[in-house]
Structure 1
Amino acid sequence: MSAIERYASLLLFFVSTAVLSRLLTPAEFGTYAVVTAITSVFAASSQEFGGANYLIQKESLSEGDIRTAFTVTLGLSLGIGLGLYLLSDFAGRMSGSDDLKAGIAVAVLNFAIMPFSMTIVALLRRNMQFGVIAASNLSCNFTIVVVSIVLAVMGFSYLAPIWGMIAGSAVQAVHLVATRRDLRIFRPSLSGCAGIVRFGLYSSGVVLINVFYNSAPQLFLARILDFASAGLYSRAVNLTQVFDKLVTQVIGPVIMPAIFAQTSVGGDLKRIYLHAVALLTALHWPVLTVMAVMAKPIILVWLGPSWLEVVPLVQFLCVGSLSLFAASLTYPVLVAAGSVRDTLVSSLISLPPSLLVVFAASYAGVEAVAASALLTLPFQAAVAIHFISRHLELRWADIAHAIWKSGIVALCSGATAAIGVGLIGYGLIGPVAGILVAAAATAGAWFLALIAVKHPLLPELDASARLVLSVIGRFGGGVVRGAAARAGRNAV
């Protein structure tokens, strides 16, 4: 269910990115990116302080716990939203842009909506009810795309995607509240808030520093260079995150509840981690490698020639991101190991130095900021793995053994994609046809490489294929039986 929702959302992302890239200039998109960067830092902190992860990891959860978590989150969210609104004029003066002030003033509306959706989604994730979550997320994303494109056509400029975001959040909240029969969880309560605050201090600290780090390049570039540079970098990051949209965001909502479900019945956390790393790298590395190799034709076809400046940015970010193959596992594994504190400590060790590198690189230009990922991302990955190793008695040799097959698969995929780029470059085939041919050939090379090295992903693919065929068979059988029944009733 998570995959259905994410892949449908990915299709919407492809469409909206292609359309909005032709309706908004890099400077307009840069303003939107900076507004999103500022608000997302504080939004993440307010969400996690009361938050989803607290509700998921708590062994015995009462209605009082839920009400208190919601009350803490709502109060903090409203307070932060009001503070940002009051500071929007200062932010506009500091940036020399009234557009930034207007964008923040609109975006803070989301702070009044998010706590309702977040609380219900956390409970649904805890109970593994991903069908309801999928429906709500799809309704949200569809609304965002439609509203953003319509308003962009009407000339709302950078405000179009911001209003789209507000509309999507509102639709999602209404959908979730409508599906929740018992709304008593929204009654205010502060009973037992001390435990929530203790967990939230670490959890929100981790999220806050990570979100701020991810948002910082856009803020630095907008302040030191211009909003167009921020827009180019933000668009490059979005393209680099295709793997996240293809895989990480599909399994992300499932990882923590799944790990807790396995460890609660005696599962070996070290074995779970290494197996997950092996599976993730077989997908993560080939996608990033192919994206880096085929960046120019993909951007030319997808975004148009006005965005070709992002090609080297995408390539630098893709190569640097290869080191983040286990990033989605770090937080849930450390929490499962009983050390949420280490999630914050590892972030405090790795991110401030990385932030200094990004800040210094921003004076050299947007391309230097992207190139700094070749240093900062491997450093962050090494620190995170070090902390996990302390709890799981993990050696670097264990990780190397888990990922070497994936490395061969990625090399085969990248080499095949390079042939397609060569055909396009020599004019033997057009960009659109070249991308399609290269995609098909790369997929074939990827699958053959999995077979050649006997990758552990193969049994998972086989099980998934059998499940899909079984579902299709049951659905088809149901349709046939229903038609036969209707025919029988009509005959009678």
Structure 2
Amino acid sequence: MSTVQRSILFSAVERYASLLLFLVSTAVLSRLLTPKEFGIYAVVGAITAVVAGSSQEFGGANYIIQKASLSEENIRTAFTITFGLSVAIGASLYLLGGALATLFGEDTLRAGLSVAALNFAITPFLMTIVALLRRNMQFGEIAGSNLVGNFATVVASVALAAMGYSYLAPIWGMIVGSVVQTTYLIARRDDVRIFIPSLAGYLDVVRFGLYSSGVVLINLVYNSAPQVFLARVLDFAAAGLYSRATTVTQVFDKLVIQVISPVIMPAICAQTNAGGDLRRIYLHAISLLAVLQWPSLILMGVMAKPIISVWLGQSWLEVVPLVRVLCFAYLSLFAACLTYPVLVAAGSVRDALISSLISLPPSLLLICGASFFGVEAVAASTLVTLPFQAAVAIYFVGRHLDLRPIDIGRATWKSGLVALCSGASAAIWAPLIDYGVVGSVAGIFAAFATAAGAWLAALIVVQHPLLPLVRTAADKALLSVWRLKGPLVVPAVRSDRDAC
């Protein structure tokens, strides 16, 4: 197994275990907290995410990962800058809590921001160690720490919500998780000299950080904007509904994108430094991402009502039309997770910032205007903003890789056929559930099984580039079974492959 495959395996094990924790905790918290309480938590998370991104990425993870020759002094300087900015921003957030609560007309926002500000003193330690582990492709260590931290977050959040801590429960849970994960990683590290303050070579960190943090910051502002606009223009219940709709829509990200995202940057940089063809790597990657993302989003959109009723409960059915619109809009973002790593690998982190500055401010203006017409209008605005952002990002990538629209089409048309076949096969179950012919739980499982079967059959028919990887994974699974149960299965399987 290659280093990249092993890294993805470790990341997948951790992400899927974390996803299980997420599904359980979301189901429990949705029954313990109201949409308004979720809205307050979502707005606190949106504000802290924006200000945290501006400090953590300025001299943090991406600088450490992409640095060709990294010394201990580089690491110490990156940590020092990140820590100084993070503490300063956390203190400012604490002091501005009252003003922000007045701005939104919600006094409880101050307490939430005050608690969230504590995380700014913790995350620089965590981010520095994780960046070093990612650089060295030590994803097993990262997976273990994430599981420990996520478990602590879920247990603390649910326990505090049950004790009546309301919107503060998941915020305190986040703090507990960060403390536990950071303590775990520091305890397992022999050398903590990387945390000794240093400013040697700080200009190199600052130069990279200006562009990198700019990209992260503007994207965080955009991602947080709908909840903030809705809370300010309408109310926190609307923000809570939109936040939950986004969470449901992004289940695919938790299943796939968040599994491979930690690996993408170091893997692409390593392959490019070794002389790999970045254009070929990109086209192959988008074909694989599209055939995984598109069927998942179509399935979620088709089965939104039964999934939400079972997962979140009947009180959250208002988000069903929002989820369906968002699923359709998110189809355009099949290559989004590759844009920043590919541009960095191409030596143009500046273009990553320019791309974001071109596409995101107009999108923010449209979202702001839509928020005056309701949460449904904000969701509908993504049908314009997300395809526009995708087009701008692909244009900038194409400038460096000599790509034309027809190249993107050739790389993804098979993925589109597979997605249509998978989605159409699952769609037959939605009306059967609505008319009571099949129960919700049974219908969901039947739809998933039907979609999976159609997806696999379509892969074979169109001979999709993912198919060899699926066959390899199946062979390894059969080999594992053979080793456990004896040589009764493998000879037949091998002769079938030889015959082909």
What's the TM-score once normalised by structure 1's chain length? 0.95
Q: Is 1:128 aligned to 2:137, yes or no?
A: yes
Structure 1 consecutive aligned stretches of length 4 or more whose deviation exceeds 4 Å: 467-477
Q: Which residue of 2 aligns with 1:99?
A: 108
Q: Is 1:378 aligned to 2:375, yes or no?
A: no
The separation in 2 between residues aligned to 1:472 and 1:340, in whole angstroms, is 46
With 382-391 and 408-417 compared, the bigger mean Cα shift is at: 408-417
> What displacement does 1:425 show?
1.7
> What displacement does 1:262 show?
1.1
Amino acid aligned to 2:14: E
Q: Which residue of 2 aligns with 1:417?
A: 426
Describe the superposition over 1:454-485 as per-residue Cα deviations: whole angstroms up to 9, x where unpaired: 110011122233445566777999xxxxxxxx
- The match for 1:59 among 59, 68, 74 is 68
The separation in 2 between residues aligned to 1:12 and 1:88, in whole angstroms, is 31
Q: Which residue of 1 aligns with 2:18?
A: 9
Q: Which residue of 2 aligns with 1:488?
A: none
Amino acid aligned to 1:242: V
Describe the superposition over 1:109-138 as per-residue Cα deviations: whole angstroms up to 9, x where unpaired: 000000001000000000000000000000
The separation in 2 between residues aligned to 1:132 and 1:451, in whole angstroms, is 36
Q: Which residue of 1 aligns with 2:217?
A: 208
Amino acid aligned to 2:189: R
SS at match of 1:344: helix
Closer/same/farther in 2, CA of residues 180 and 465 from structure 1, 3 Å limit = farther
Q: Which residue of 1 aligns with 2:275?
A: 266
> What displacement does 1:181 show?
0.4
The separation in 2 between residues aligned to 1:424 and 1:372, in whole angstroms, is 30
Q: Which residue of 2 aligns with 1:279?
A: 288
SS at match of 1:266: coil
Q: Which residue of 1 aligns with 2:315?
A: 306
Describe the superposition over 1:302-322 as per-residue Cα deviations: whole angstroms up to 9, x where unpaired: 111100000011111110000
Q: Which residue of 1 aligns with 2:52?
A: 43
SS at match of 1:287: helix
**Pairing 1:362-373 to 2, within 5 Å after superposition:** 362-373=371-382
Amino acid aligned to 2:358: I
Closer/same/farther in 2, CA of residues 180 and 468 from structure 1, 3 Å limit = farther
Describe the superposition over 1:232-291 as per-residue Cα deviations: whole angstroms up to 9, x where unpaired: 000001111111000000000000111112112211000000000000001000000010
Q: Is 1:398 aligned to 2:407, yes or no?
A: yes
Describe the superposition over 1:151-180 as per-residue Cα deviations: whole angstroms up to 9, x where unpaired: 000000000000000000000000110111
- The match for 1:193 among 196, 199, 202 is 202
Q: Is 1:145 aligned to 2:190, yes or no?
A: no
Question: Taking every aligned residue pair, what percent have the same amino acid on both sides?
Answer: 70
Q: Is 1:229 aligned to 2:249, yes or no?
A: no
Amino acid aligned to 2:138: Q
> What displacement does 1:414 show?
1.1
> What displacement does 1:96 show?
1.5
Q: Which residue of 2 aligns with 1:288?
A: 297
The separation in 2 between residues aligned to 1:472 and 1:116, in whole angstroms, is 42
The separation in 2 between residues aligned to 1:218 and 1:155, in whole angstroms, is 24
Q: Is 1:349 aligned to 2:371, yes or no?
A: no
Q: Which runs of 5+ in 2 are unaligned?
A: 1-9, 487-500
The separation in 1 between residues aligned to 2:421 and 2:474, in whole angstroms, is 23
SS at match of 1:49: coil
Q: Which residue of 2 aligns with 1:256?
A: 265
Q: Which residue of 1 aligns with 2:123?
A: 114
Amino acid aligned to 2:392: V
SS at match of 1:50: coil
The separation in 2 between residues aligned to 1:467 and 1:424, in whole angstroms, is 37
